[in-house]
Amino acid sequence: MRLPRFDYLEPANLEEALDLLATHGDDAKILAGGTDLLVRMKKGLLKPKNLISLKALNELSYIKEDDGYIKIGARTPLADIIASELIQNKARALFQACEEIGAITIQHYRGTIGGNILQDNRCQHYNQSNFHRSGRQACHKDGGKICYARDEGDRCYSTCQSDGATALMSLGAQITLAKKGDERTVDLADFYTTDGIMPFAMESHELLKKIAIPVHGPMQGAKSAYKRLAYRSAIDYPIVCAGVLLKPSDTQKNEIDEARIVVGSMSRSPLFLAQESSSLKGKKLDDTDAFKKAADASMNSAATFAVHNVGSTLEYRCAMVSEMVFQALKESAQAAIAAKG
Ligand SMILES: Cc1cc2nc3c(=O)[nH]c(=O)nc-3n(C[C@H](O)[C@H](O)[C@H](O)COP(=O)(O)OP(=O)(O)OC[C@H]3O[C@@H](n4cnc5c(N)ncnc54)[C@H](O)[C@@H]3O)c2cc1C
Ligand code: SF4
């Protein structure tokens, strides 16, 4: 498989990158680590005329605590996130998620956190070679009018399998998108569309600049955990995953003040399960019956979104949602109890 022809553009700084995006937006893609983008280009799934490289943009590579947030530049390598004591201590779900990302040598040293969030949704019927796809009718994502993953599917149901996005959503992260002369900040939970062809609510001339995770104020003392299941842990994408955050009460010992349950690899975006999360408010940190009920309810909610397109059976993946959520809840509760002493 060979890469199609493209022009390689290497801006020296963010301003130049935004200028290039303003000029070439519809005909360009940002190149960060390239571990998702170049694979798709080799498979003929994408043929951008221009690649705008972030290679020289060191200003987008940092991790720091500032103004009540952990701030992470979009071009920060996954390896830096794994090595960061700040992330290990205050955003553990993200540390665990990045550590689990498959194909260590490629992902950890080339992959970036921005590319991880913005990697394209996947589907076993679509993420195949040109040769494989040429033997059958094109599906919606390939420019056709059918979907192999869902009978009568009127749109694309390809699945978001980003470990990082699932963990970050459970941490209540916000992202900042920049374009020439302007920028905006949105909750990661509000960043997704309902169409797997264009899964992100983002314009072609926008660039992901930074990620911010709240760690002070109402989030002070919150503990998080991340669990995932893959065929082969060393290389595979998750077939189901869950990120969880528990914030203990400041006044009531051992009581949960706020919970966030997010399930990944089950839909077109990570699923923030608001009802299941709020069912844990006021529950004790050692109430495993409440955790089990919330985990089973999460499984039922996630099952309504999932389609059979990332391997394994749908029944197995749904059953494992409950297990991943339950394990993550128990782990974050134990961390919260240990921190309270
Ligand atoms: C064998 C293999 C196994 C993998 N396993 C996993 C896994 O287990 N879990 C997982 O989550 N991922 C996995 N991946 C996917 C991917 O490699 C990682 O998610 C990686 O972090 C992507 O980062 P990157 O910098 O290489 O992204 P790139 O490939 O450079 O970019 C990905 C997409 O994001 C866009 N983009 C990147 N940065 C920006 C920015 N700042 N602003 C705007 N657009 C941007 C690009 O244009 C592109 O469309 C795997 C990939 C392979 C090939
Ligand atoms: S979910 Fe359907 S339309 Fe989308 S990539 Fe898969 S087969 Fe194609």
pLDDT digits (tens, 9 = 90+) for 60-119: 999 999 999 999 999 999 999 999 999 999 999 999 999 998 777 766 678 999 999 999
Q: Distance of CA 138 to CAs 48, 134, 205, 268, Å?
A: 20, 8, 28, 20
Nearest CA to ligand 1 atom 17: 35
Task: Determine if ligand 2 sits within 6 Å of the CB of residue 115.
Answer: no
Is residue 2 one of the residues assigned to a domain? no
Q: Is 48 domain-assigned? A: no
CA of 198 from ligand 2 middle (Å) equals: 12
Name the domain count of the chain. Answer: 1
Q: pLDDT higher for 290 or 339?
A: 290
CA of 142 to the centre of ligand 1 (A): 20
The model's pLDDT over 119-139, given as tens digits with 9 standing for 90+, comes to 999 999 999 988 889 888 999
Give the mean pLDDT of the chain.
94
Indicate the pairing of strand 182-187 with strand 63-66. unpaired
pLDDT of residue 147: 95
Strands lying side by side in the sheet with 240-248? 223-229, 240-248, 256-264, 271-272
Tens digit of each residue's pLDDT (9 = 90 or more) over 237-257: 999 999 999 999 988 779 999
Which tens digits make up the pLDDT trace of 168-225?
A: 999 999 999 999 999 999 999 999 999 999 999 999 999 999 999 999 988 889 999 9
Residue with CA nearest ligand 2 atom 2: 147
Which position has the higher pLDDT, 1 or 144? 144
Residues 262-270, mean pLDDT to the nearest whole number: 97
**Per-residue pLDDT at 253:** 74
Pairing relation of β-strands 50-53 and 7-9? parallel
Domain of residue 266 covers 58-119+159-340
The answer, yes or no, to whether any atom of ligand 2 lies below 6 A from the CB of 157, is: yes
pLDDT digit string, tens, across residues 4-23:
999 999 999 999 999 999 99
Closest ligand 1 atom number to CA of residue 163: 11
Question: Distance from the CA of 57 to the center of ligand 2, in angstroms?
Answer: 35
Is residue 234 scored above 70 in pLDDT? no
Token pair belonging to 98 = 């990045």
The answer to whether position 139 is within a domain reads: no
Asked if residue 36 is part of any domain, the answer here is no
Domain-located, residue 211: yes
Task: Tell me what the mean pLDDT of segment 263-271 comes to.
Answer: 97
User: At 283, which CATH number?
Assistant: 3.30.465.10
* Ligand 1 midpoint to CA 241 (Å): 17
Atom 4 of ligand 2, residue of closest alpha carbon? 156
256 in a structural domain:
yes
Cα of 291 vs centre of ligand 1, distance in Å, is 32
